[in-house]
Structure 1
Amino acid sequence: MNGKMHSATGAFSNDGMRAEILNPFVHKLELDNTYDKIKTAIFTVILLPFRVIVICYLIVTAWFLACIGLYGLSEEDLRRKPMTGWRRALRPVICFIGKLSYLAGGMAITVRGRQVSREEAPILVVAPHSSFLDSCIVYATKMSSVIVRKESMDNYVGKLINYTQPVYVWRDDPNSRQNTIKEIIERATSKEDWPQVLIFPEGTCTNRSCLITFKPGGFYPGVPVQPVTIRYPNARDTVTWTWEGPGALKLLWLTLTQVHSSCEIEFLPVYYPSEEEKRDPKLYARNVRDVMAKALGVPVLDYTYDDCRLIARAKQLGIPGATSAREVSELRSQLGLERSQLELHLAASGMAGRARWLSADEFAVRLGVPANDLSFRLYNIFVQRSSGLVYFPDYLLCAAFLSLQHAPLSHLLSYAFKLYDSQGFGRLNPSNFEEVATRCLGLCQEDAQNTFRQADLDEKGYITYDEFISYAQKKTEFAHIFASDTSHHKPKTQ
């Protein structure tokens, strides 16, 4: 594994060459021609109902068998010792039915390589994680034990998940991470005949364009692991479920109305850690990721779970360029803008007397950077297709958000009032306030207008930052503005 490069800010391929900046959390999927629309409509009528009925029948059958197998066992029993006897003998039957449910939906699962025994590799490391349909790996690996949030068990598939004897994660437990790692270590090093532990180390869904940072939890035991890759080599990608893109129901509908879909699962050779890797789980995780990236033919990118949370918060607030927030941060770093803080200086002095709509060359000049590929890519994230220009306050707001991401939202608002006041005084008329409210507070147009009317007590036709803050402090719905650690939406995970 010598000679590999890793960076906290950049993407590197396995040979150490710089990779293109990617956004692994965006997936575009549209029915872009009349033929596809007509075909999908026809199959929705004649194929979808049949497939749904058969799939539901198979899932209910598997669920019924799981109920029988779990009868008389508590969750504590499932955590204390592995299943034996007739309960364990039901697993191949449930796996067979599970595979049939995918086949009934038109998806053929191809398995390459050989799954080794638990003695050879107690842990299976699976990537990339890109879809709820990745759950097929549970059936392909003879119901290996998954890592699952305890709150996810309160649904009809909870019995099926319980049958894998999962490692539970309690999100409301402050020691959840440590307890989960402890249980993984106990399972992986136990002398008993537990199922292999199955881990998606990326921790969230991506579009398979790269492998993001692997969480080290599954590598703490220091035991050999077997890497497992998942591919969906289909002409139309109807399975990828990311931050920006179609929702789960739309993807399921489009997948079930395809004539045929494919999933390829490949078991790679067992990875045996060195003594150094056993001492350093993060190094172990990075090196396994490199092996898997090489097998997949994709670059690695040091995105983390925190990056997902950052993107989620930016999207929730309505920050311009939200889904590309990490890419913006990366480009700013490469252009040296994080060091100079030029954008914040501009934001602090307001936009009075400055052009607000910029071409690519004007954008680079305003930033004080060369007009090159990096500045153009940054420009292209914010360009408005109708005009071909960038609205510079939108870029500055995103830059300020990235620099102030750990500060209370009120700090960002103080910049926004200056940025979106065309006169430069920090006084926002209804139109300007609507811009700020939809970009910083996640308000819709109607709510923004109502908020302005309530905050403009003197009916001056404008409000200042101080006036808005005074109003917001009295409203519980704006309490998050003053919190230093605001809540985030959770990313899509399995």
Structure 2
Amino acid sequence: MNGKMHSETGTFSSDGMRAEILNPFVHKLELENTYEKIRTAIFTVILLPFRVVVILYLIVTAWFLACIGLYGLSEADLRKEPMKGWRRSLKPLICFIGKMSYLAGGMAITIRGRQASRKEAPILVVAPHSSFLDSCIVYATRMSSVIVRKESMDNYVGKLINYTQPVYVWRDDPNSRQNTIKEIIERATSKEDWPQILIFPEGTCTNRSCLITFKPGGFYPGVPVQPVTIRYPNARDTVTWTWEGPGALKLLWLTLTQVHSSCEIEFLPVYYPSEEERRDPKLYARNVRDVMAKALGVPVLDYTYDDCRMIARAKQLGIPSAPAIREVSELRAQLGLERSNLEMHLVAQGLAGKSRWLTRDEFAQRLGVPPNVHLHRLYDIFQQSSNGLVYFPDYLLAAAFLSLQHAPATQLLAKAFKLYDSSGTGRVSMANFEELASRCLGLPQEEAHHVFRQCDLDDKRYVTYDEFIDFAEKKTEFSFLFASDSHHKPKTQ
């Protein structure tokens, strides 16, 4: 991508290097002033109930029509052949009602470009994926077939989704990925008049600051695809639903209490793959992503769904700077720290008798790396606003998490006991336990204090790692520590 591209959370320079690494999984939304709070409160009383009633009426109507259209059809029938006759003729009506439900909520959907026919492009590639409200694309594309987890069909909306004749993903099936790709290929290359397949290749929601890695599943058939972009050009972003940010109910509430909001859907020209792209689905996916990023005016970033899971895990454990843990991983790689194993050596030694609060130069010296731009950025992530210094145990715990992210959480906890044990005796005081519990168990101070008291029934005023594990094994609230632990608890090293 040529020239400079900017976003709210980072930048790309002309040579493609990031001046600041984006975090596409964070979205912050707050009512900033008294006027907005008063207006939202008023609309919550006078506008929200009316909109909810109308939307529910329209959704129930669409659901009822879907039930009629699906009457007499089994799941096997839906996967065997495309709908025909009167069943198919109900789709335009359901799509119209679906669009009206968005309009009733104050959201106008604008469509640009022309949707290609199935013959031109059997697959529609949609990005960025940033909200549950992106489901409007199903109505805008005349009920294209979506890819959906089978277990999510056992609910009220399942009938509407089933009416698209979706491609099912079976979470409990170890061959689910291969079977899904196989069905996508069969649908996309079929001579029958199936609906177009609609794919969100990012696989998770982002904040639209960039396009993350596209999963290659929808590109395996090697057929032409039509890229489709979604924008929400609103003054206040009340739709973005990411791993860190407002929940679905809050977003829905704030969206429905806006006077007006917009969604723009643009159909880009059909992308015809080269022979090389047909042979390499990952290359095909990357090239389509580049085209869509250029149309959106945003950079691309090689983040994946696995990165989302890593961030969510870090947040669950309370790891310091969890939202930026992917960036920390990348910076460590650029500094050569992942290969040196120095950090894990420092963790094993412990920090008893050593300075824990470090300046920028001391941080670089302790890690044995030059004070370059990557080191400065790493320091900034962990820098405390209260004193401008880095608390070194916090950084080492984050590094240990990255090194042990596929290991049982108990192994990481053992390292935390090492890092936050200021005495170096293996006996953690209440103050030290509160510190490590907030950073490795996600516990608030008051709860950590209560847990310490329960572990220290003899009033020794300290707790060891093994004592805490013996206690945690009996408590359901700590079951996540042992979820993937197939071995017995590790002893403190």
TM value normalised by structure 2: 0.92
Q: 1:410 maps to which residue?
A: 410
Q: Deviations over 1:249-301 (max 9, x none)?
A: 11111111111111111111111111111111111111111111111111111
Aligned runs of 1:120-131 on 2, under 5 Å?
Answer: 120-131=120-131
Instruction: Return closer, same or farther for 1:59/1:482 CA change in 2, 3 Å cut-off.
Output: closer
Q: 1:376 maps to which residue?
A: 376
Percent identical among aligned pairs is 82
Aligned runs of 1:334-349 on 2, under 5 Å?
Answer: 334-349=334-349
Contact 2:224 2:270 in 1 (8 A): yes
Measured in 2, the distance between the counterparts of 1:483 and 1:115 equals 46
Shift of residue 242, structure 1, vs aligned partner: 0.3
Q: 1:17 maps to which residue?
A: 16
Instruction: Return closer, same or farther for 1:438/1:397 CA change in 2, 3 Å cut-off.
Output: same
Pair 1:63-2:63 in alignment: yes
Shift of residue 364, structure 1, vs aligned partner: 3.0
User: When the two structures are aligned, how many residues end up with a matched partner?
Assistant: 478
Q: Which has the higher contact order (CA 8 A, sep 6+)?
A: 1
Shift of residue 483, structure 1, vs aligned partner: 5.6
Instruction: Return closer, same or farther for 1:221/1:483 CA change in 2, 3 Å cut-off.
Output: same
Q: Deviations over 1:52-100 (max 9, x none)?
A: 1111111111111111111111111111111111111111111111111
Measured in 2, the distance between the counterparts of 1:210 and 1:468 equals 43
Shift of residue 220, structure 1, vs aligned partner: 0.9
Measured in 2, the distance between the counterparts of 1:49 and 1:318 equals 38
Q: Deviations over 1:13-71 (max 9, x none)?
A: 69761133111100011111122112211211221111111111111111111111111
Q: 1:72 maps to which residue?
A: 72
Pair 1:33-2:33 in alignment: yes
Contact 1:318 1:438 in 2 (8 A): yes
Q: 1:274 maps to which residue?
A: 274
Instruction: Return closer, same or farther for 1:479/1:101 CA change in 2, 3 Å cut-off.
Output: closer
Q: 2:298 maps to which residue?
A: 298
**Residue aligned with 1:52, SS:** helix
Greater mean deviation of Cα atoms: 424-433 or 166-175: 424-433
Contact 2:11 2:22 in 1 (8 A): no
Q: Deviations over 1:285-343 (max 9, x none)?
A: 11111111111111111111211111111111111111111011011112222222332
Q: Deviations over 1:360-400 (max 9, x none)?
A: 44433333333343223222222333333332211110111
**Residue aligned with 2:117, SS:** coil
Amino acid at match of 2:17: R
Instruction: Return closer, same or farther for 1:171/1:325 CA change in 2, 3 Å cut-off.
Output: same
Q: Deviations over 1:144-165 (max 9, x none)?
A: 0000111111221111111111
Greater mean deviation of Cα atoms: 355-364 or 286-295: 355-364
- Root-mean-square deviation over aligned CA pairs: 2.2
Amino acid at match of 2:426: G
Measured in 1, the distance between the counterparts of 2:172 and 2:445 equals 35
Q: 1:489 maps to which residue?
A: none
Measured in 2, the distance between the counterparts of 1:407 and 1:198 equals 36
Instruction: Return closer, same or farther for 1:424/1:453 CA change in 2, 3 Å cut-off.
Output: same
Measured in 2, the distance between the counterparts of 1:99 and 1:485 equals 48
Aligned runs of 1:315-354 on 2, under 5 Å?
Answer: 315-354=315-354
Q: 2:423 maps to which residue?
A: 423
**Residue aligned with 1:384, SS:** coil
Contact 1:14 1:294 in 2 (8 A): no
Aligned runs of 1:211-226 on 2, under 5 Å?
Answer: 211-226=211-226
Q: 1:201 maps to which residue?
A: 201
Q: 1:246 maps to which residue?
A: 246
Q: 2:91 maps to which residue?
A: 91
Measured in 2, the distance between the counterparts of 1:94 and 1:192 equals 23
Greater mean deviation of Cα atoms: 451-460 or 265-274: 451-460
Amino acid at match of 2:240: T
Measured in 1, the distance between the counterparts of 2:248 and 2:226 equals 29
Q: 1:492 maps to which residue?
A: none
Instruction: Return closer, same or farther for 1:28/1:360 CA change in 2, 3 Å cut-off.
Output: farther
Contact 1:356 1:391 in 2 (8 A): yes
Shift of residue 480, structure 1, vs aligned partner: 4.8
Q: 1:441 maps to which residue?
A: 441
Unaligned runs of 5+ in 2: 3-9, 487-493
Amino acid at match of 2:234: N
Instruction: Return closer, same or farther for 1:127/1:359 CA change in 2, 3 Å cut-off.
Output: same
Q: 2:5 maps to which residue?
A: none
Q: 1:6 maps to which residue?
A: none
Q: 2:182 maps to which residue?
A: 182
TM value normalised by structure 1: 0.91
Q: 2:490 maps to which residue?
A: none
Contact 2:331 2:378 in 1 (8 A): yes
Measured in 2, the distance between the counterparts of 1:249 and 1:458 equals 46
Q: Deviations over 1:122-162 (max 9, x none)?
A: 00000100000000100110100000111111221111111
Q: 1:116 maps to which residue?
A: 116
Shift of residue 470, structure 1, vs aligned partner: 4.6
Shift of residue 472, structure 1, vs aligned partner: 4.5
Greater mean deviation of Cα atoms: 108-117 or 407-416: 407-416
Measured in 1, the distance between the counterparts of 2:13 and 2:195 equals 32
Measured in 1, the distance between the counterparts of 2:363 and 2:33 equals 36
Measured in 1, the distance between the counterparts of 2:473 and 2:152 equals 36
Measured in 2, the distance between the counterparts of 1:471 and 1:207 equals 40
Amino acid at match of 2:16: M
Instruction: Return closer, same or farther for 1:255/1:483 CA change in 2, 3 Å cut-off.
Output: closer
Greater mean deviation of Cα atoms: 340-349 or 448-457: 448-457
Instruction: Return closer, same or farther for 1:483/1:254 CA change in 2, 3 Å cut-off.
Output: closer
Greater mean deviation of Cα atoms: 218-227 or 425-434: 425-434
Measured in 2, the distance between the counterparts of 1:37 and 1:385 equals 29
Measured in 2, the distance between the counterparts of 1:387 and 1:37 equals 34
Measured in 2, the distance between the counterparts of 1:480 and 1:29 equals 29
